[in-house]
Structures are given as structure tokens and as C-alpha cells.
Chains A and B, each alone.
Chain A
């Protein structure tokens, strides 16, 4: 069981281009960070009519972004189901229930946004997530994820807002920190056998972008 700690003072290693944009939804220290994978992720749906599953919390900016692309957006908000005020006795079961309840089984998606969810799930939970997501994937579905390569991450998942295909805006809602799981690519590939890593992008602000794609059944 981890014990949350306050963040250590460390030099800001964000991109020089990162700009402080003031409070975002009441959050202080919110910054705009570059993204290298997002443009690739939305590439297939830029022509319009795509279907997107967002497993993070609802954000007006993201709704606007995908509406601009003519996409239908599903918001499942696993953060509120798993990381609320109540500590769940069995989070794996809660995750399974939330995925079953909040993801429409009859729908398939072009793009799935995990954001930083994988940093907050243990191995068993990642297996469940991968197994639940695979049936709602199409042949060309991409799964976008951000994984921290720093030793500590915020105590709770972050709310991310897309500014454009090359920039994401976010700030931790909690100042408490916890150890990062430091997932590695081969481990993730084993935990989510229905997916394979399409590409990864190392960012200077402590996160690595992953694009997974659904593995084709032979």
C-alpha cells in the first residue's frame, strides 16, 4: 500500500514551449504540453464520422475537439468510478463492472483514450481492461495512453484537455504523490494480449505517449 507524499521540488523539465495558461477548471499550475502521438491517433478519423471512447472524465475542450472532427464521443469516466472518495474493497471487480456498464457493447470505436489510466491500475486490472476493450475495437482502432517515466505520479489520475492535435493541457488535481508503476512496453504487451504497441513517443515532461492497436485475430 503506497503512502501519498507531497511532491519534491524538482526542476521543471517541461518543454520550453510549454506555456502556463492559468487555472484550468480551478486547477493551478495547469500547463499546455506538446503531444506527438495525438496527431497520429486522430489521423484516421480526421475525415469525419469516427467513434471515440474516452475513459477519462468529461472535459468540454475534448468534446469540442472531437465535435470539430465530426466524431461521436462516448465518455465512460472511469476515474469517477474507481478513484472517488470511497476506497474500493475490490477495485478489479469495480473496474470490470464499470467497463461492462459504461461501455456500450453494441458499439465499436476508432479511437480509445486511456490517458494516464494505466499508471493507476495493477497488473490484474490492466488485464481486465485489455480484455474488455478488445471486443469494442475495430480493425484499425488505436488506443492512446500516457505513461509516466518519473518515479512519482500524482495521487489520482489527471484530467487532460486536448487543445489541438499537437498540444494537451493538464494539471494534477491532487498535490499528493505516489510511486509510479513505471510500466514497460513488453510488460504491457503481455498484460494486454489483444493489443500491440503501434508506436511510442517520449516526451520531456515526464510522460511517454503510447499508441496501441488492436491485434488482428488470425
Chain B
């Protein structure tokens, strides 16, 4: 017979496990021997170790210019990390990070900017962009600057390039973490290049 002060047995609940975090897809990589003239757009994180002349628009994703990367283009990304050279403006929805080895000539528009000691930068820094991180955007975002480095990015989906892409004739790119998974003889993994390839 049930008594008032007895506890009603409850079915054993399964152990609480945290929801599985979606595994970050590896970023696409433009290898050191790739040279793209034209615009790059997509929905995938991108590491650029080669050369790009044009515009890089990955507003929802992370863009990293590797140490071998040489960019003559404006770069739009969720976060933009520069370890190589960029001549162009950087628009980061969340942040722009210039590593110690980075060299940038252009303006930065982002609510958070990190300049590591030793980095080389010429241009203006505007840390009051709107969520869309465009030059003409309204000014709402909070300001935040750090000198400490930020974590490397990762994301998902597809990237496409319009214009021309050329692969260097100097053989396969040097073995580096960034160039391991790419296609050195053509467009890199996940990147579609529309246009002339020489």
C-alpha cells in the first residue's frame, strides 16, 4: 500500500549527454601553386595559400590567408585571418586578425581587430561596422580589440570562383598542412573556378 511519505519511483532517466556538436568541415584550400584572377564566392571556409586577384566574398565563413598567400583583393568573411600578404580591404563580420607574419595594405572594417606584434599594417581601422560589415553600413557593433591570437576557423559547404585560375608550372606544391587536401593540378577541393584556366 502506498504511503504518503513514500516517494514515487521515477523511471531511470538516460544519462544526460551534451548534444553532439557538429563536426567542423575542413576548409577548402587554394594551394600555393594556384593563381586565380576573378571573384571568389561561396559558403565554405577557405584557406588561401596561393595568389588571388579579384574579390573574395565569403561573408558567412572564415577566410584565412596563409603564409604563402598573396592577395590583391578585398576580402569579406565572417572572420578574416591574415598570415601572408594582402593588398586590399578586409571586412570581417566578426573579426579580422593579422598575425605576426601578416602584411596588409588596405583598410579594415570589423567590430573586432587583432594586430599581433610584428604584423605589418598600413591603412585605416574602422571598428564600428554594421552586422553586414560593409563600408556604408550603420554603426551598431560593439568594439573589441585583442592582441592575443584567435582560433583557426572551420565551416561547411561550397565555394566558387569566377574568373580565371591557373596552376603554377613548378610541380606539386610544397607539403604543408594547408596544401595536403587540395587539388594542386586544378581548382582546389570544394572550389569551382569558372573561366579560363591556363
Contact = CB atoms under 8 A, between A and B. Distances in A.
B140 interface: no
A60 B122 contact: no
B22 to A, nearest CB: 32
Nearest to A81: B122
Nearest to B116: A60
B147 to A, nearest CB: 4
Main secondary structure of the interface of A (DSSP, over half): mixed
Nearest to B145: A64
Given A24-B117, A58-B115, A59-B117, A74 B145 contact: no
Contacts, number: 61
A67 B122 contact: no
A25 B119 CA distance: 10
The residue among A60, A64, A68 with the most chain B CB atoms within 10 A of its own CB is A60
Nearest to B143: A67
B124 interface: yes
Contact of A60 (B120, B128, B144, B145): B145
A60 B117 contact: yes
A102 interface: yes
B68 interface: no
B147 A58 contact: no
Nearest to A61: B147
Nearest to A159: B117
A172 interface: no
A59 B124 contact: no
Given A60-B114, A60-B115, A70-B128, A75 B121 contact: yes
Give the size range of B's interface with the partner.
20 to 34
A72 interface: yes
A72 B124 contact: yes
A75 B146 contact: no
A26 interface: yes
Given A26-B118, A58-B115, A64 B126 contact: no
A61 B126 CA distance: 15
A76 B124 CA distance: 8
Given A59-B115, A60-B115, A70-B128, A75 B123 contact: yes
A76 B143 CA distance: 22
B127 interface: yes
A73 B125 CA distance: 5
Q: Which 4 A-B pairs have the closest CB atoms?
A: A25-B117, A60-B147, A64-B145, A58-B121
Given A58-B98, A67-B127, 14 more contacts: A24-B117, A58-B120, A60-B114, A60-B115, A60-B116, A60-B117, A60-B146, A63-B125, A67-B125, A70-B128, A72-B124, A74-B125, A75-B122, A75-B124
Interface of A: 24-26, 57-61, 63-64, 67-68, 70, 72-77, 80, 102, 104
